[in-house]
């Protein structure tokens, strides 16, 4: 399995995880399109120098790369970055959808545009770039070309295993990207396209600069997983891989737990009795959050985690 000679478009590649991925792919011999408009964490502003700097790093090490500053949430920009990859390197083999922004607020304080903008970059942006790549790949396939192609999406532990308070927009968009991964793996298999997803957590980047915890790792831990998924001959498709430090786990998605059944339509009382009988275990979300993040926060009691969350949300303490 190799990415040597393959052309890879990495979105959000100017900093953090995306930059680490772009550098790792280039070092492994890939031609890299470094997409990043250079915006702030919340999506404001823009600086073309951010993408240019990564391209300069790659070229200084003998790699091949070009910069792109398009906005993944802009339909036309998404099409242009795919076309740029083809024009510059002759083809596009892999898309790594990494771009994301964040605006963290409790749901009652989160404005409409703050919700829409985060979802637009993460969810619509992932779809838009994948859509234009898929159109190119379908045309090549129908012309008789048979080449391994791949999409590597990026979700987050926040959207899958431990949704975090203040991240209604970010968690929802990342969970949707994971769901979309499976759909696209089913749709694009007929064109020889594999679709997988990485879900990093506890990675120190601009987006997690304010998150406490000594167990945070650098973004480099994600890059080898992405290069593996991007490689010609990788057998995986339709998978969501959680990456935490040196641990890589295959997610099983939503899974069924205990169930109750009836030969007749349920009544409220009958349903209540049935659930009492099977003893359905109710997991308090703060217990789950304590298990997921308590160690990193140095907290072992659910009450302490809840107090930290409430303070962050600016809610009164009980």
Active site residues: 170
pLDDT (0 to 100) of residue 188: 97
Q: Are 50 and 36 in contact (CB under 8 A)?
A: yes
| Backbone phi, psi, residue 314, to 5° | 65, 40
DSSP 107: T
* Location of structure tokens 């949430």: 73
* Nearest alpha carbon to residue 36 among 79, 103, 85, 99: 99
pLDDT (0 to 100) of residue 288: 72
> What does the chain come to in residues?
318
Per-residue pLDDT of the chain (318 residues; tens, 9 = 90+): 799 999 999 999 999 999 999 999 999 999 999 999 999 988 898 899 999 999 999 999 999 999 999 999 999 999 999 999 999 999 999 999 999 999 999 999 999 999 999 999 999 999 999 999 999 999 999 999 999 999 999 999 888 888 788 999 999 999 999 999 999 999 999 999 999 999 998 775 655 555 545 466 788 999 999 999 999 999 999 999 999 888 999 998 887 777 889 999 999 999 888 888 776 666 677 777 777 666 666 677 878 877 777 776 765 544
* Nearest alpha carbon to residue 184 among 176, 196, 172: 196
pLDDT (0 to 100) of residue 305: 75
Instruction: Please give the helix or strand (H or E) that residue 240 lies within, else none.
Output: strand 240-244
Domains in the chain: ranges and CATH: 7-250 (3.40.50.720), 257-318 (no CATH)
pLDDT (0 to 100) of residue 77: 98
Joined tokens for residue 172: 């929802």
Q: How many CB atoms lie within 10 A of CB 260?
A: 14
Torsion, Cα 107 112 113 116, to 10 degrees, reads 80
pLDDT (0 to 100) of residue 42: 84
pLDDT (0 to 100) of residue 257: 78
Record the pTM.
0.89
């Amino acid at each position: 399995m190799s990415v040597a000679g393959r052309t890879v478009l990495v979105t959000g590649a100017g900093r953090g995880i995306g930059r680490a991925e772009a550098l790792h792919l280039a070092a492994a011999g890939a031609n890299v399109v470094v997409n990043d408009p250079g915006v702030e964490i919340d999506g404001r502003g823009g600086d073309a120098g951010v993408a240019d700097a990564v391209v300069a790093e790659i070229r200084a090490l003998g790699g091949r790369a070009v910069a792109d500053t398009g906005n993944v949430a802009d339909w036309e920009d998404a099409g242009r970055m795919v076309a740029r990859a083809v024009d510059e390197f002759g083809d596009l083999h892999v898309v790594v959808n990494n771009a994301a922004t964040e605006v963290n607020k409790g749901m009652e304080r989160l404005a409409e545009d703050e919700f829409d903008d985060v979802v637009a970059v993460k969810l619509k942006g992932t779809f838009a770039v994948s859509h234009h790549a898929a159109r190119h790949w379908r045309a090549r396939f129908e012309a008789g070309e048979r080449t391994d192609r791949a999409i590597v999406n990026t979700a987050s532990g926040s959207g899958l295993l431990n949704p975090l308070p203040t991240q209604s927009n970010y968690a929802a968009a990342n969970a949707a990207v994971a769901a979309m991964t499976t759909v696209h793996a089913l749709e694009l298999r007929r064109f020889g396209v594999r679709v997988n997803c990485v879900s990093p957590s506890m990675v120190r980047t601009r987006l997690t600069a304010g998150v406490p915890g000594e167990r945070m790792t650098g973004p480099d831990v994600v890059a080898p997983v992405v290069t593996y998924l991007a490689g010609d001959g990788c057998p995986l498709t339709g998978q969501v891989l959680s990456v935490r430090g040196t641990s890589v786990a295959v997610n099983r998605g939503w899974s069924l737990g205990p169930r109750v059944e009836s030969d007749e339509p349920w009544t409220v009382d009958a349903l209540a009795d049935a659930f009492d009988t099977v003893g359905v275990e109710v997991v308090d979300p703060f217990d789950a959050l304590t298990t997921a993040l308590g160690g990193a926060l140095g907290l072992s009691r659910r009450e302490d985690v809840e107090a930290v969350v409430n303070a962050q949300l600016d809610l009164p303490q009980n």
